[in-house]
Amino acid sequence: MSELRRTRIKFCGLTRAEDVAEACALGVDAVGFVFAARSKRLVSPAVAASLRDGLQPFVDAVALFMDNPADEVRDVIAAVRPTILQFHGDEDDAFCAGFGMSYLKAIAMGGDAAVDGAALLRRYPRAAGFLFDSNASGQAGGSGHTFDWSRIPGDFAKPYLLAGGLHPDNVSDAIRATGCWGVDVSSGIESAPGIKDAARMRRFVGKVRRADNAGT
């Protein structure tokens, strides 16, 4: 791990303006708005557009989808103006890249099947990065459960975010164990689905920064 390491932080599933403001004040790198139909944190494009207008400079807006029709994705892009797209379903590279924007592909890590990093890169050659999440294939994220971090492919050639069950008390261990490029948290900073807790948000960011500074 580099002495100048800075783990990127994404807060996902935001639904309230006050939570967006707190995320920006804490210096997170990105906030996620969820458009997956089965998610407890689903927001409409109109609500997300209003929240996106509250973002401060250099905080990215991420639009999260799971097998949404292409027309829905285009409508969200037009209304919300996200910085990057994130896909959690069975979308292929052609679909994900077909909107002319950078995208992240989420990989379901639930279960015990081996994950072939080289095969992932071949399957999604235009992905800007990946997100390893604890959900099983076909299930929505935000479950609050972790997975075996040792199953992440070694020497993965593209940036990846770690997600699934992260919270202030385990995120430092997660960073040290994986060397991930970024962390993605939702339920671990909530008091209820979609309702973020300011104290947990602050503790989470503080633990990430202390993990980054350890050994420097």
- Given the residues 133, 180, 184, 212, select the one marked as catalytic: 133
Residue type, 79: A
Residue type, 4: L
Residues with Cβ within 8 Å of residue 116, at least 6 apart in sequence? 153
Catalytic residue status for 24: no
CB atoms within 10 A of CB 35: 25
Distance (Å) of CA 181 to CA 42, 48, 79, 126, 184: 26, 26, 29, 18, 10
Angle between helices 171-178 and 198-213 (to 10 degrees): 30
SS3 state of residue 191 = strand
Catalytic residue status for 12: yes
> Which residues face 103 on adjacent strands?
85
- Given the residues 12, 19, 180, 212, select the one marked as catalytic: 12
Q: Which residue has the tokens 């807060």?
A: 11
DSSP string, 140-167: -S-------GGGSPTT-SS-EEEESS--
The set of catalytic residues is: 12, 133
